[in-house]
Amino acid sequence: MTLVVALVGPTATGKSDLGLALAHRLGGEVVNADAMQLYRGMDIGTAKLTVEERQGVPHHLLDVLDVRDDASVADYQERARRALVEIAQRRARAVAVGGSGLYVRALLDHMEFPGTDADLRARLEERVESEGARALHAELAAVDPVAAEGIGPRNARRIVRALEVIALTGRPYSASLPQHVYEVPAVQIGLDCDRAVLDERITARVERMWSRGLVGEVERLAAHGMGRTASRAVGYAEVLSMLRGELTPDEARTAIAAGTRRLARKQMGWFGRDPRVHWLDARDPDLVEKALALVAAADAGELGPATEDPAPRRSLGS
């Protein structure tokens, strides 16, 4: 199989635009790796490219879920890998684009999916409501400190999943997490930029979403009924709070920008730990050519481990 080109990194760095450019130059098709862009109707708040903005490039795994559904990484893996096979059969190049780290790993790496137990999960979720996510996080830290370190104490959904897997398998949750081992041959290109610049981009993106009708989009989705995953997405959760009268419009915009900045830091932490990612500066005027050079070197087997140039990542962590 031809190497998959995966564009990763924090939100608002221009991954979608670079993905389009590379798809044009490489004869490629884009595979979405953004969890929230899987949902139909979640367009403005996810910065999803419109059909016109896709410039005729086929895009896969967009608009495949109803907002009442909960996204499943296992389901995504099955759908996305099937798309890779179909793209390869057309002798096209797959360009995966997205900042959802777990979804990128599910697409590219060896990753197991332990089963589920609805009753067990319900009991754990009830405990989150009664005891708080931090209490269950402390419990997770006692039995699987590696998993607890990678899951924030406020991430109730992942805490519940980790405790569920431990109870079902008798093994640490961290044992089932993906390793840095490709199951799908790929070259990963990361986009990053200076923290202050990224913060400015995020602020501008929020204002642009607001002016394009984010509130109306959320109102329509809320009337349809939104599931847990969709309703907790950055941008949507804050507008829902505003519609309930809990935030003013200005407070909602501020909260969205703050939440997006936190998301960017989280994404950088995830991808920054992967030594296979080759980082480029999102502001580089020669970005497309440098990305193409990385792809060509990888295709030729000349691209070794990612070069140790931590400057862009350090800028986000400083």
Binding residues for substrate: 11-16
CB contact set of 68 (below 8 Å; sequence gap of 6+): 224, 225, 226, 227, 230
Q: Tell me the C-alpha distance between 95 and 156, whole Å.
A: 32
300 burial via Cβ count (<10 Å: 0-12, 13-18, 19+): exposed
Q: Residue 278's beta-bridge partner residues?
A: 189
Q: Which two tokens stand for residue 156?
A: 């109730």
CA torsion 56-58-61-66 (nearest 10°) is 40
CA 205 to chain centre: 17
Q: Tell me the C-alpha distance between 280 and 307, whole Å.
A: 11
CA 92 to chain centre: 24
Sheet (strand 59-60) strand order: 59-60, 28-32, 93-97, 4-8, 186-192, 277-281
Going by the annotation, the residues of the binding site for ATP are 9-16
Q: Which two tokens stand for residue 60?
A: 């896969």
Q: Which two tokens stand for residue 272?
A: 């920054």
Going by the annotation, the residues of the binding site are 9-16
Helix (H, G, I), strand (E, B) or coil at 38: helix
Phi-psi category of 284—alpha, beta or left, where left has phi over 0 and alpha has psi -120 to 50?
A: beta
Alpha helices in 32-176 (DSSP H): 73-89, 101-108, 118-131, 133-143, 145-150, 156-169
